[in-house]
């Protein structure tokens, strides 16, 4: 795909010129691709980039910016509201990959940032992270089976967390019903995280917003963190022209 070979966004005029096809044809193709989630229109740039569905056909999506551009101002606002670090993550196989990390203004955070392992580009087992589980919770049984094909015990980092696919399936069913995920000391001792998924136009989870903080840090309670993240996920879903699953709308 032309867009996959670019380092940034592309305007219609450039697409028509470089591909040697009429603008009318470019607009028609882009409308089809946008409807299917493979390209995203960034209004502020008046240009197109790879869409949120593109990561499903390879890792090329990780090298492009549309999702990050849409999510960055949302994450920045959430981080300032909470006074905590907020992440944007996606699934890459059975791992969580963190694409963005926004910290609050200096002096507002109650965290020791040096102890957080969730930096941009870091990969962690998705079944241990609130970010990853928020996405897994809305994946199909077939997708879960493909991501975790071995029947043996699941890995842990701190000795806590689901050990088998049966235990993981139970946790994911609970997370799907309530619409958010949480982990306490599964990734790092003394830390907890909450994650909420954002969705595309087919109600599929494409990314998640999450916040990590010290378990005994009392700036906000977990309910407030969850509510703020849910508001952010709703905004990101709207920004990518998505829609949440029907059961979340009725909760």
CATH for 44: 1.10.10.10
Domain assignment present for 59: no
Query: Where does a domain end: 19, 34, 54?
Result: 54
Q: Do 87 and 38 share a domain, yes or no? A: no
Domain assignment present for 60: no
Tell me what pLDDT residue 51 has. 63
Q: Do 38 and 117 share a domain, yes or no? A: no
Range of the domain at 22: 3-54
Q: Is residue 178 very low, low, confident or very high in pLDDT (cuts 50, 70, 90)?
A: very high
Tell me what pLDDT residue 58 has. 46
CB 87, CB 98: distance < 8 Å: yes
Domain assignment present for 153: yes
Mean pLDDT in residue range 70-91: 93
Single pTM value for the model: 0.71
How many domains is the chain built from? 2
CATH for 69: 3.30.450.40
């Amino acid at each position: 795909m032309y867009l996959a070979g670019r380092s940034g966004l592309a305007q219609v005029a450039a697409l028509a010129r470089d591909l040697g096809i009429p603008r009318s044809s470019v607009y028609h193709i882009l409308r089809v691709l946008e409807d299917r989630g493979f390209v995203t229109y960034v209004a502020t740039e008046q240009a197109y980039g790879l869409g949120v569905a593109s990561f499903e056909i390879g890792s090329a999506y990780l090298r492009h910016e549309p999702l990050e551009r849409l999510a960055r101002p949302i994450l920045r606002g959430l981080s300032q509201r909470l006074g905590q670090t907020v992440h944007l993550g996606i699934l890459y196989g059975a791992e969580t990959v963190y694409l963005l990390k926004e910290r609050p203004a200096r002096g507002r955070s109650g965290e020791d940032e040096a102890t957080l392992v969730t930096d941009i580009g870091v990969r962690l087992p998705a079944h241990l992270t609130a970010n990853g589980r928020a996405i897994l919770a809305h994946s199909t049984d077939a997708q879960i089976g493909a991501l975790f094909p071995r029947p043996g015990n699941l890995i842990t980092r701190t000795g806590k967390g689901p050990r088998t696919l049966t235990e993981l399936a139970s946790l994911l069913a609970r997370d799907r019903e309530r619409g958010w995920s949480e982990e306490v000391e599964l990734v790092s001792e003394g830390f907890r995280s909450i994650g909420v998924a954002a969705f595309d136009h087919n109600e599929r989870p494409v990314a998640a917003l999450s916040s990590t903080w010290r378990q005994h840090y009392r700036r906000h309670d977990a309910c407030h963190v969850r509510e703020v993240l849910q508001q952010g996920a709703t905004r990101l879903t709207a920004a990518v022209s998505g829609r949440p699953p029907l059961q979340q709308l009725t909760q």
